[in-house]
Chains A and B, each alone.
Chain A
């Protein structure tokens, strides 16, 4: 690890216990989300492989060597001292699990991408265009017997399961035979192994989080959710399929999205129940200005997303929506949520402008650009952070972060400049 420790950052924590730091940071973030003025703008740490870049391990190691990545995460937190951080292990240290379950929707280091290239989602048609009725008739059956066999080798034998709602009495007694099928046994063994592996990784990650909490580090993500349109465009129909369905299968797409919104809310509430943070991370992919028209956004994207946001808010969770791309034309529309109940994180939309439109409604987060963090200088980053803190941070309700967190290739000195800025500049 290069010697890039920052005095400004070290001074900010000196003399404070882990317990004090935790309480102070948790309150600072909460106040920002409540749109209250804070002593300084909070700093968020969200990243994928940047800790690996810092620690000098490969992305492949980050995905496979749990201890090495835990160590990289520790170095990152101790260097930057963020007010909140995402527990990356849950979405980075998954190489062995992906392999064991033979996951097909991703290519990852050593499995389709180079050892130092991030994992990438494969945009494909995982649900066929004529399967909307199957989905609507019985989503669980559709997932179990049609969708899941397509996304992982371990799930393939599920395609052979009988249609469960039609089983009764002696038919039900015969159901176990389906599970004694040779392919099914093999598939179940893979699932079991993948599940055990994931538990092992999570156990280490949670122990890490506990240690970090004792040192004063607060987790930012209590769960995640998707916009219903993205759910279909990314994971089911593929982007091309979903966009064609906007014309060819409009009513069914709308009906399915309305339905999946309820499922997403229900599942997210349960999944996030025991997590330390109430923030639900919702990265958005297809609703940006350049992709669909304002009319399409207001028909296909926003209503089902709003349904998810409102469901989470009603459950006392805090949606943290990452508006990828430029969403400037959407700002007035997306203002239609209750005050102080969500975080809007912008990638390319200018937070200073967003603050003018949304400042009374939602906490704003962002957005030092990836290009600057990778190719700029610490002075560039410092000046941009100052602009954001003074502009979007004015009066509170702002959290500083990278445009999409820290890009994997960001220069260490630039990231340090960003982390220092919250201590240097008053909002």
Chain B
């Protein structure tokens, strides 16, 4: 898959040129482009976005806009695609990441950014939302053969909720089956030790890198 328009679309997305990117996508669809090629273009563009984020060239606003572009383009090509989904492609990445904001905390932007970055890096992610009880994490671990659990929290009350969640996972006999990473707000190494998690991260890229270390490079 290599032609001038495809390369142009990759760059438009990566350069945050939303209107032009969407116009060109429509043009490619109208010309009968293979929808899976367009999804491949999105993936290539997101690789660049992820790289620029890692290089501190892009920040949260670019990730939010990239996510919006991705959503809109997926909507545009969805009617043209049969059942081959992205999620199925991700089955062989060796593990699934379960993520959620811990009990008592309603903040979601940090969690959403991490989810997005894991997703564009090819990891399968199950997002349980906010104010997630320890039991809900345990149920999801059992149901989904989870390898990594990401606990998010912005408020200081999340320190105890994270600790309780890690303890509940241990009591459920699942601690050895999963790696646990925590992040958000005021989380630091001291809180990692306090909660019994395996690692903590200060930003979305550290979550991605941690998952790469634990699960191997995703597809």
A376 at the interface (CB under 8 A from B): yes
Question: Please, how many angstroms separate the alpha-carbon atoms of A403 and B18 in the complex?
Answer: 39
On whether the beta carbons of B188 and A240 are closer than 8 Å, the reply is: no
A178 at the interface (CB under 8 A from B): no
In the complex, chain A residues 223-257 whose Cβ is within 8 Å of any chain B Cβ? 239-240, 243-244, 246-248
Question: Please, how many angstroms separate the alpha-carbon atoms of A198 and B155 in the complex?
Answer: 27
In the complex, chain A residues 61-116 whose Cβ is within 8 Å of any chain B Cβ? 107, 112-114
On whether the beta carbons of B190 and A372 are closer than 8 Å, the reply is: yes
**Which residue in B64, B104, B159, B191 is a CB contact (below 8 Å) of A240?**
B64
A123 at the interface (CB under 8 A from B): yes
Contacts of B64 in A (CB 8 A): 240, 243-244
**Which residue in B58, B160, B190, B203 is a CB contact (below 8 Å) of A409?**
B160
**Which residue in B59, B109, B156, B187 is a CB contact (below 8 Å) of A408?**
B156
A172 at the interface (CB under 8 A from B): no
CB distance from A116 to the nearest CB of B (A): 8
B106 at the interface (CB under 8 A from A): yes
Chain B interface (Cβ within 8 Å of chain A)? 16, 18, 56-61, 64-65, 68, 104-109, 155-157, 159-160, 186-188, 190-191, 194, 202-203
Given known contacts A239-B109, A293-B56, what 4 new A-B pairs fall within 8 Å (CB)?
A: A120-B106, A372-B190, A374-B156, A375-B190
Q: Which 7 A-B residue pairings sit nearest by Cβ, starting from the closest? A: A407-B156, A243-B61, A371-B190, A375-B194, A370-B186, A243-B64, A117-B104
CB distance from B190 to the nearest CB of A (A): 4
CB distance from A108 to the nearest CB of B (A): 11
Provided the pairs A371-B187, A374-B159 are in contact, do residues A247 and B16 lie with their beta carbons within 8 angstroms?
A: yes
11 pairs from A and B in contact (CB 8 Å cutoff): A107-B106, A120-B155, A123-B109, A240-B109, A247-B61, A347-B186, A370-B156, A371-B194, A375-B159, A375-B191, A376-B190
**Which residue in A243, A291, A348 is a CB contact (below 8 Å) of B65?**
A243
Q: How many residues of A contact B (CB 8 A)?
A: 35
A296 at the interface (CB under 8 A from B): yes
A292 at the interface (CB under 8 A from B): yes
A369 at the interface (CB under 8 A from B): yes
On whether the beta carbons of B109 and A293 are closer than 8 Å, the reply is: no
Contacts of A272 in B (CB 8 A): none
Provided the pairs A113-B104, A118-B155, A290-B59 are in contact, do residues A369 and B203 lie with their beta carbons within 8 angstroms?
A: no
On whether the beta carbons of B188 and A371 are closer than 8 Å, the reply is: yes
Question: Please, how many angstroms separate the alpha-carbon atoms of A407 and B187 in the complex?
Answer: 13
Provided the pairs A122-B106, A247-B18 are in contact, do residues A117 and B60 lie with their beta carbons within 8 angstroms?
A: no
Contacts of A374 in B (CB 8 A): 156, 159
**Which residue in A293, A403, A404, A409 is a CB contact (below 8 Å) of B159?**
A409
Write the chain A residue with the least CB distance to B189.
Answer: A371
Question: Please, how many angstroms separate the alpha-carbon atoms of A86 and B135 in the complex?
Answer: 39
